[in-house]
Every structure is written in C-alpha cells, then in structure tokens.
Amino acid sequence: MRSLLKQLVGESAIYGISGIITKFIGIFLVPLYTNVFEPSDYGTINIINSFFFFVGILVVFALDNSAARWYYDTTEEEDRKKTIASWFWFQLSFTTVVCAGIIGLSGFLSHRLLHTSDSNLFIVSALSVFTGVLPIIVQNWLRMQRKAIHTVVFSLLYSLLTIGLTIYFVLLEQSGVIGVFYAVVIANSLASIYCIFLLKSWISIRYLSIQRLKEMLRFALPMIPTSVAFWIINSSSTFILDYFYNLKEVGIFQLGLTISSAVTLFTSSFQMAWGPFAYSIIQNENAKNVYSTVLTAYTIIANFIALSVALFAYELLVVFTTPDYYSAYLVAGLLSFNSTIYSYVYILEIGNGIVKNNKPLAIAVLLSAVVTTGLLLGLTPLFGKTGTAFSMIFGNLVIPVYVYFAAQKSYYIPYKIALALSLCGFSFGLYILYLLIQTEIAYVNVLIKGVFIIAYIVSGFAALYIWDRKAFDAIRQFYDKLKTRKNKA
C-alpha cells in the first residue's frame, strides 16, 4: 500500500508544481490588474467567465468522465483510440453548433447580461471555447496515460502563454476587458496546433466508433443535468449578485474568489492525479485501504491549507490589491473552505465510479443545486456577497454527504469519517471564532492566527492518534527516518 500511496503523492506533487507556478503568476498579476480594472470590470469578466463556464460544461457533455472510465477497460491501444476519437469528433461537432448559436445571439446576450450593445466580448469568448476543444482533450489524454510530467509541461506552457498574452493585451496594448479574451483565443489556437501533431493518430476519423460513442453517452447522460446543476451551484451566484446589487459587488466577490483559489494549488493537483490513479488500482487487494487512507491524509492537509488562506486573506489583499478591494477578505476566507468541499466527492464517489453508476452523483448535485439556489435567493439580498459565499458552502455540502452514503451501499470502503468530520468542523470553527474575536490591532490579529493554525496542527495529530493509530504511527516512523537521515548528513 505504501508504494501505491507514494506513487499518488509523487504524481500529485508533479501536478502541483504546475499549479503552484501558474497560480503564483496569476496572483502576481492581481496588483497589476487592480490598477487597470475597476471592480465593475472584474464584474464583467466574471459574468463572461460564468456564462462560458456553463457553455464549456455543456459542450464537453460529461464525456471526459466517460472517456476516463472506458480508457481503463482495456490495455489495447487500438481500442483506446476508439474512445478518444469518438469523444473528440462528438465534442468538436457539438461545440461548433453551440458556438455558432452564441455568435448569432451575441447582441442579445450582451444587452441582457452586460447591459451594453457591444457584442464583441461574446463573439471572442465563443471562439475561445471552439479553439479550446483540443487542449482540453489532450490534457485529459495525457493524464489517462499517467504521463504526469508531460501533462504538467504542457499545462504550464499553455498557462504561461495565456498569461503572457494577457499582459500584452491588457497592460501594454491597453485593450481593456476584451484583451483578456483575445489572449485566451490566441493561446488556445497555438496550443491546438501542437495538439494536432500530438494526437493526430488518436483522433483519426477511422477510429470513430458510433457504438462506443453511444455507450459513453449513455454513461454520461445522467451527468448532463448534473453538469447544469453544478454550474448553478458554482456560477449562478454571479448573476444573482448582479441582479440584487451591481457589477462592482460582483467584481469584489470575484476577487475574493481569486484569493481563495490559492487553496486549489493543492486540491487541483490532487484531483488531476486521483482519478487515473484510483481507477488503475481497482484490482489491487489493498485498494480499499488506500482509498481510506487517502481521505484521511487529504482531509488533514486540505483543511490546514484552507484555514491558513482564510485567516490570512486580508493580508493577501493588502499586499496584492488596492483599498477598493479589501472588503473581499471575508468572501475569500469563506470560499477557501468551499474550495475543498467538492474535492471530497472525488474520493467518496470512487465506489460509484468503479461500478459505473453515476446516478447518485447526479442526484446529489441536483439536490445541491436546489438548496444552493434557495439559499442564494434568501441570503444574497440580505447579506450581499457574504450571504452568497455562505450559500455556496452550505449548498456544496449536500454533495459529499449524499454521495458518501450512496457509494458505500454499492462499494463499501472503510473510511475514517468521524476523523474527517472532526477535522473539517474544527478548522472551520477556528476561522469563525477568529472572526468573532479579532481586534483592531494588526499584530495581535496575526498572533491569534498563528496560535489557531498551531492548534489545528496539534488537533490533527491528536485526532489521528485517537481514530487512526496506524496512520499516526506511519507518520511518526516517516518523521523518525527523516530525522535519522538529517543526523547522518
């Protein structure tokens, strides 16, 4: 089991390097953007991104999930090519139709959502979706092949290209908001040229299998309403906040979300490694124990990172932004915990994935969408962006809870749920307690934050000792080995 966990940690670390560098560059650009964009400009960008996030989910048609599952059904390359080619040709065709429709309705969409007659933002963004088809498929294909380093190099260069072009258009050319989307279209187009050469033998039309496509679509079908519901949970808040308030409030909320995304340095790298890893060890006799241990380890690390970002969100805003954006600190803090919630689903839902049953996840996300929408409509008018953040957290919690009970019936895994829940509750409780006792004195607040982080670390080891003694002993042995090596050196 240790060798398998070491493999997962290694691949997560490799993916994490890309995420850390990319996120760091993105955060580095925040002070530059806050001197160029007003909060309302951030609001406009968020409206566009939220709309096309929905479009992106729609055109993928959940076939990324299906492709990963069918890919591992065989070791024969010819059969795997049927899976990738079928996915590619369907998504390319569907994306073409959808994006053509958006371009045709660009004037109407601009008037209704952005309160302007300028349709260029929607036209350029639609082109970015079309040109992004191949890069999306290639990144998934590389992860399926467990080519972590190649995946990271491609993703990193792709991100750096996008960021470099964004700097050029926004800061040098001063193209305004549309410069952000010019950068995406050009970066996608250049990346697609490389993807064609890389994937050309895998997406040949001769590998297109209607039968395989039908099977994959049938598996993905329950995920379509789920994808829409997922968008409601994570992105409808933008439009509701704009409806009750204005684009400025949306922009400050978006910046808070950007700061909280620092948590995804860990969660996204884990997610990229987890799916292919988890499915690849299905036949291993220690698989269930590995899944359980991963949940425990993930919970400890994820909550530590979320608590750290949440507590120091204000300081991050002071360093990277201007006073107009400081009020985003509470949103950033709350959404730091929200960034970890859906990641639990990736671990808890693995049992349903193994038995090829996506229905529980679909039901969970639909229930979450209903709860989130109700909370957004109730809390946003009363508490603004803070109410929006709380709505997203409590709405998202529905998913891992429902998925856990459903998956355990299909494929039981001995998770240490009591341990995970205690750590999640304690870390979030520490943050809420800080909000209640914070002072007007900066250095006192920093001292309190440091004490709270230490308290969480101590509580994490204490909880491990009580509920998972084997994991505690393994960590202690690992520490002893490091100490011995250090002494020898």
279, with CB counted inside 10 A (0-12, 13-18, 19+), is: middle
138-147, 434-443, 469-478: segment of lowest average pLDDT: 469-478
- Per-residue pLDDT, averaged over 99-127, amounts to 92
* Residue 335 pLDDT: 92
* Residue 14 pLDDT: 47
CA–CA distance, 257 with 331 (Å, rounded to integer): 7
Query: By the 8 A CB rule, do 262 and 306 touch?
Result: no
Q: Could you read off the pLDDT of 332-387 as tens digits, one per residue?
A: 999 999 888 878 888 888 877 777 777 888 788 889 999 999 999 999 999 999 99
Average pLDDT, the chain: 84
Angle at 133 between CA 128 and CA 138, to 5 degrees: 130
Query: By the 8 A CB rule, do 396 and 368 touch?
Result: yes
- Indicate if the pLDDT at residue 409 is higher than 90: no
- Indicate if the pLDDT at residue 9 is higher than 70: no
Cβ atoms within 10 Å of 323's Cβ, excluding its own: 9
pLDDT band of 232, cuts 50, 70, 90? confident
CA–CA distance, 55 with 47 (Å, rounded to integer): 13
Angle between helices 148-166 and 177-199 (to 10 degrees): 150
CA–CA distance, 307 with 380 (Å, rounded to integer): 24
Q: Could you read off the pLDDT of 253-297 as tens digits, one per residue?
A: 988 888 887 787 777 767 666 767 777 777 777 788 888 888 888
Residue type for position 464:
L
* Residue 17 pLDDT: 53
Q: Could you read off the pLDDT of 164-185 as tens digits, one per residue?
A: 898 899 888 889 899 999 999 9
Query: Which segment, 6-20, 21-35, 361-375, is predicted with the most confidence on average?
Result: 361-375
* Residue 28 pLDDT: 60
- Indicate if the pLDDT at residue 392 is higher than 60: yes
Residue spans per domain, the chain: 232-489
- Indicate if the pLDDT at residue 391 is higher than 90: yes
- Indicate if the pLDDT at residue 5 is higher than 50: no
* Residue 121 pLDDT: 94
